[in-house]
Amino acid sequence: MGVTNANKTASLTQIDCNGTFDVTLALTAAPDITTNPTDIVLVLDRSGSMEGSALANLKLGAKKFIEIIDQATDGSGDGQIGSGSRIGIVSFASTASEDTSLITSVADLNAAVDALSAGGLTNHADAFSVATSLLSAPSSNAKVMVMFTDGNTTAGGNPSPVAAAARARGIVIYAIGLIGSNGIDVSALNDWATDPDASHVAVTPDEADLETLFEDLAANISKPGATSILIDETVEQDFQILSLSQPTKGSAMLTGERTLSWNIPELGVTSSEGASLTFTVQHVDSTGGTKKINQSVYYSDDQDNAVTFPEPSIDVNCTEIVVPEPCPQPVELTVEGCSDALVADAGEIELQSLGRILTLDVTIRDVCPRKRVGLAVFLSEEDESGTEHPRGTKILTVPAHFSSGCRDVLVKGIKFVLPEDLNVSGCGFCKNRTLKARFLANMIETDFTCSDSL
């Protein structure tokens, strides 16, 4: 079978600017189908959400899978699955149906796929049950189930124990997921599929990828596992590899700040087998955004398996947000003579006139770590003749940050109260008002530290 699945996943979808996360590489390989006959059941979702192009792409993928198995089992596309292997079709919506038994006729298999029509709910439990029954007939063949679905369970019982029972019978389960209109529960696919999850589950948001996913899975079935596997990983220049865990198979080592090498002597030579490697990555750049993690992955083995790893991305947030405290309401008090104590009634606060509140946000660029910033805001208003009138001044101290590098700092919620001043704003309320805000920012100290003593 060769390499039947390759996957690459990130443990997080979002990190801070200098955050860390884990990346997992995973492979699954299985013996050659020509010397290890295999019964394969394609379990295909035909629920209502598959209506239209999604079902059309699924049919293309399933028929491409059948075509490649036909070629792989006897060396020619003669319309018959050879070498003792067989394929069956199970489809499901509100209930599941056995569309073919385990057969060798490519024409009959293709006809069953072409006959699929979309409609109904999604009953995964019944799908696993019917597929398991199809694979339960006495046979020395290896047993493989390929579950395809585009949504969550909406009918029937809990599919997890049914899938677990199938795995207990020695059935290897792969799951291909299309993120449909209602989303998909990837954790459920991981639960159903044979371990390790990373190498038995493939998910795509693009229905056009379905043919490729089925094709890649089938193409590697003709290969006898994999030997002398070499994987060289390079992450993008905005990241650095901090450490790696011991792989479940073979050995791995760091070869640079952004590179590693993983060697596996053999995988899946006598039975289906998975391997995985997890390493820890840190973002080391000062800019944020959505960033692709790996720059390249080189793969080779003695069987020339065609292996393509996904390219996960991660959202990096490099913005510090500072929200200043609101200003207190002033109350006028008078201390008379030499009094050193005062008791005063602060009175009440009343609305005096109409006015507006202006809230400003400003980003201070390239603030280095451990440095506080003095920020001054000057607000003025133009009257109808273009003359500027002062409207207020705010002076703030922006706290120091302790990140690994310089970063932008967003200061939010700088408020000014603007009463309706007729000789400046113009006659009549709710007129357009022209304001000008000026900002001045300076470092007020360097290498700020808190003193432990006076």
Q: What is the pLDDT of residues 111-134, one digit of tens each?
A: 999 999 999 999 999 999 999 999
For residue 14, being part of any structural domain is answered with: yes
CATH code of the domain in which 381 resides: 2.60.40
Please state the pTM of the whole predicted model. 0.50
Whether 134 and 159 share a structural domain: yes
- Same domain, residue pair 293 and 358: no
Given a contact cutoff of 8 angstroms between Cβ atoms, the answer to whether 148 and 42 are in contact is yes
Domain count, the chain: 2
52 and 186 belong to one structural domain = yes
CATH code of the domain containing 22: 3.40.50.410
User: In terms of domains, do 288 and 324 share one?
Assistant: no
| 325-384 pLDDT tens trace | 566 567 777 777 777 777 777 777 666 566 788 999 999 998 888 889 999 999 998 887
Task: State which residues form the domain around 306.
Answer: 2-317
Residue 141 within any structural domain of the chain: yes
Residue 333 lies in a domain: no
Q: Are residues 142 and 278 in the same domain?
A: yes
User: What is the tens place of the pLDDT at every residue in 285-335?
Assistant: 988 999 999 999 999 998 888 898 999 999 999 876 656 556 656 777 777
**Same-domain status, 230 and 367:** no
Q: Please tell me which residue, 145 or 426, carries the higher pLDDT value.
A: 145
* pLDDT tens per residue, range 164-208: 999 999 999 999 999 877 778 899 999 999 987 876 888 888 888
Q: How does pLDDT run across 33-75, given as a tens digit for each residue? A: 767 788 999 999 999 999 999 999 999 999 988 988 888 777 6
